[in-house]
């Protein structure tokens, strides 16, 4: 077990932020779980669990919910941001006002910054150029982590010391944390897989079967890797937990919000209706647009992403899209 007793500020009290806060607190750290909605935080403090996202999982005594950001980060050994990608830049700006200089910063946010379609690392480096930065990604469902079920993730940082320190905070009897120096590849894999999960959900919802799902996952990995390499990621990263592992998990299990979105679209539900049913952020919706545009600008071929984008934003029929993908012209598999 890692050394205990560090103070960790987890910013974001949704399902994943709460699960990571619970995990870190169980490992003996003093955890401040911050959320920007004072009434919701008051409910967490009263119930001593997050009944909306993780019902039945009690908070350890050393986990303290708060809506006071300054209090949360005061004397923190680690700041871990776990907010949706569209809120990431805003939270950084709030941090900048309170702490103009940070020694280190980490996050478990997956996605692109919507304004300029940048990776979270680009946004973080612009706001805190002096900080060592790290990202957590990999095949994880919040409820399973909160329940203490076996899980493995990747911690990536350009600073080996930061990667090891953050991995030590997380690592435990049922939670294995590997380290990597490929911060770009880990981010691309963790964000782009959400688009593929929507496609896999649509394919399954249309009854196209296991063969089609396997094909979509495999070809999805190919195009994620293609984009990741174009952005500077490393090929091996996409064969690991933050690439293949996360992709398989989110494409095949109905705990995945993005897969459920695909199932809903295949069933004829509109996006807003499906969002309400799911009740949480569906990152793949914005990711489909952002990665489609980014791939187009880079000249990278991403046909699955393109078709998911056209379904969501251009009204393309899901059945026609999946059939079109599976009937594309013959080519060598490595292309």
Alpha carbon 115 to chain centroid distance? 18
| 221 confidence band (pLDDT: 50, 70, 90) | very high
**Average pLDDT along the chain:** 94
* pLDDT single digits (tens) 30-68: 999 999 999 999 999 999 999 999 999 999 999 999 999
pLDDT of residue 2: 44
Q: Match 């690991």 to its residue by tokens.
A: 240
Q: What is the pLDDT of residues 176-220, one digit of tens each?
A: 999 999 999 999 999 999 999 999 999 999 999 999 999 999 999
Cα–Cα nearest to 120, from 211, 35, 11:
11
Total Cβ atoms within 10 A of residue 36:
16
Is 193 an annotated catalytic residue?
Answer: yes
Residue 1 has pLDDT above 60, yes or no: no
Give the 3-state secondary structure of 207-223. CCHHHHHHHHHHHHHHH
pTM, full prediction: 0.94
Confidence of residue 320 (pLDDT cuts 50, 70, 90): confident
Segment among 2-11, 25-34, 168-177, 291-300 with least mean pLDDT: 2-11
Q: Please identify which of the residues 110, 193, 276, 323 carries the catalytic annotation.
A: 193
Token pair belonging to 267: 């069933």
Q: Give the E-state strand segments of the chain in sequence order.
A: 7-11, 30-34, 63-66, 78-81, 104-107, 112-113, 118-119, 132-137, 151-157, 175-180
Q: In angstroms, rounded to a whole number, what is the distance separating the alpha carbons of residues 321 and 110?
A: 26
Confidence tier at 244 by pLDDT (50, 70, 90)? very high
pLDDT band at 279 (very low <50, low <70, confident <90, very high): confident
CA 9 to each of CA 32, 81, 106, 171: distance values in angstroms, whole numbers, following the listed order:
5, 8, 10, 17
């Amino acid at each position: 077990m890692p050394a205990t007793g560090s103070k960790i500020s987890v910013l974001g009290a949704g399902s994943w932020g709460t699960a990571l806060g619970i995990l870190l607190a169980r490992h003996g750290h003093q955890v401040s779980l911050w959320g920007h909605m004072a009434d919701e935080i008051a409910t967490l403090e009263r119930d001593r669990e997050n009944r909306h996202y993780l019902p039945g999982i009690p908070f350890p005594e050393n986990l303290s919910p708060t809506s006071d950001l300054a209090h949360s980060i005061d004397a923190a050994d680690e700041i871990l941001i776990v907010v949706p990608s569209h809120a990431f830049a805003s939270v950084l700006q709030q941090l900048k006002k309170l702490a103009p200089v940070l020694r280190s910063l980490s996050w478990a946010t997956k996605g692109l910054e919507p304004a300029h379609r940048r990776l979270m690392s680009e946004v973080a480096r612009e706001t805190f150029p002096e900080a060592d930065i790290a990202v957590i990604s990999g095949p994880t469902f919040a409820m399973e982590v909160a329940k203490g079920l076996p899980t493995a993730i990747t911690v990536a940082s350009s600073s080996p010391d930061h990667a090891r320190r953050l991995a030590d905070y997380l690592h435990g009897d049922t939670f294995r944390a590997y380290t990597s120096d490929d911060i770009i590849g880990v981010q691309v894999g963790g964000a782009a897989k959400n688009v593929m999960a929507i496609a896999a959900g649509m394919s399954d919802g249309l009854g196209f079967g296991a063969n089609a799902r396997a094909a979509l996952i495999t070809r999805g990995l190919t195009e994620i890797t293609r984009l990741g390499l174009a952005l500077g990621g490393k090929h091996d990263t996409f064969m690991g937990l933050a690439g293949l592992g996360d992709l398989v998990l989110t494409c095949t299990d109905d705990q995945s919000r993005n897969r459920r979105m695909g199932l809903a679209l295949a069933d004829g539900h509109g996006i807003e209706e499906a969002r309400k049913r799911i009740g949480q952020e569906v990152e793949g919706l914005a990711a489909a647009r952002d990665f489609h545009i980014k791939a187009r600008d880079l000249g990278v071929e991403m046909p699955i992403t393109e078709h998911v984008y056209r379904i969501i934003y251009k009204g393309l029929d899901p059945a026609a899209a999946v059939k079109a993908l599976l009937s594309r012209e013959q080519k060598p598999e490595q292309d």
